[in-house]
Amino acid sequence: MFEYFYHEILRKTIIGFGTLFNEISIQKKDDSNNVFSVIRVPLAYGPTQKFLARLEQQPNLNTPVQITLPRMSFEFVGLSYDQTRKVTSTQTFLTSSVSDQTDVKKVYMPVPYNMEFELNIMCKINDDMLQIIEQIIPYFQPSYNLTIDLVKTIGEKRDIPIVLENITMRDDYEGDFSTRRALIYTLRFTAKTYLFGPVSTGAGKDIVKKVTLGFVSGDSNSTSRDLKYSAEPVATKDYDNSVATNLSENIEASNTAITVNNATNIPVKSYITIDDETLYVAKKDGNVLTVVRASYNTKAAPHVSGTAIKTITSADNALIQFGDDFGFSGFSVS
Least confident of 21-35, 59-73, 157-171: 59-73
Residues 190 and 245 in one domain: no
- Using left for φ > 0, alpha for ψ between -120 and 50, and beta otherwise, residue 101 falls in alpha
Does 100 reside within a domain?
yes
**Predicted pLDDT at 297:** 83
Residues 173 and 257 in one domain: no
Does 4 reside within a domain?
no
**Predicted pLDDT at 289:** 93
Q: Determine the Cα–Cα distance for residues 148 and 151; give it in Å rounded to an integer.
A: 9
**Predicted pLDDT at 108:** 78
**Predicted pLDDT at 203:** 44
Answer yes or no: is pLDDT of 204 > 80: no
Answer yes or no: is pLDDT of 157 > 60: yes
Residues 271 and 122 in one domain: no
Residues 106 and 255 in one domain: no
Mean pLDDT over 37-61 rounds to 70
Residues 59 and 183 in one domain: yes
Which CATH number covers residue 174?
3.30.2000.40
| Domains contained in the chain, number | 2
Residues 55 and 184 in one domain: yes
Q: 99-128: per-residue pLDDT in tens?
A: 655 566 777 788 999 999 999 998 888 889
- Confirm if 281 and 267 have CB atoms less than 8 A apart: yes
Does 248 reside within a domain?
yes
Residues 291 and 180 in one domain: no
Residues 178 and 265 in one domain: no
Answer yes or no: is pLDDT of 221 > 70: no
Q: From residue 56, how far is each of 122, 159, 193 by CA, in Å? A: 14, 41, 37
Q: 73-94: per-residue pLDDT in tens?
A: 999 999 999 999 887 766 666 6
Q: Determine the Cα–Cα distance for residues 30 and 25; give it in Å rounded to an integer.
A: 17
Of 195, 229, 256, the residue that ends a domain is: 195
3-state secondary structure of 120: strand
**Predicted pLDDT at 67:** 43
Does 223 reside within a domain?
no
Average pLDDT taken over every residue of the chain: 80
Residues 153 and 299 in one domain: no
Residues 163 and 265 in one domain: no
- Confirm if 153 and 199 have CB atoms less than 8 A apart: yes
Query: Which of the four pLDDT bands, split at 50, 70 and 90, describes residue 331?
Result: very low
Does 323 reside within a domain?
no
Predicted TM-score (pTM) of the model is 0.55
Answer yes or no: is pLDDT of 162 > 50: yes
Residues 246 and 124 in one domain: no
Spatial CA neighbour of 74 closest among 189, 191, 167 = 189
Q: Which domain holds residue 287?
A: 241-312
Residues 186 and 249 in one domain: no
Does 139 reside within a domain?
yes
Does 187 reside within a domain?
yes
Which CATH number covers residue 245?
2.40.30
Q: Determine the Cα–Cα distance for residues 145 and 161; give it in Å rounded to an integer.
A: 4
**Predicted pLDDT at 66:** 40
Does 224 reside within a domain?
no
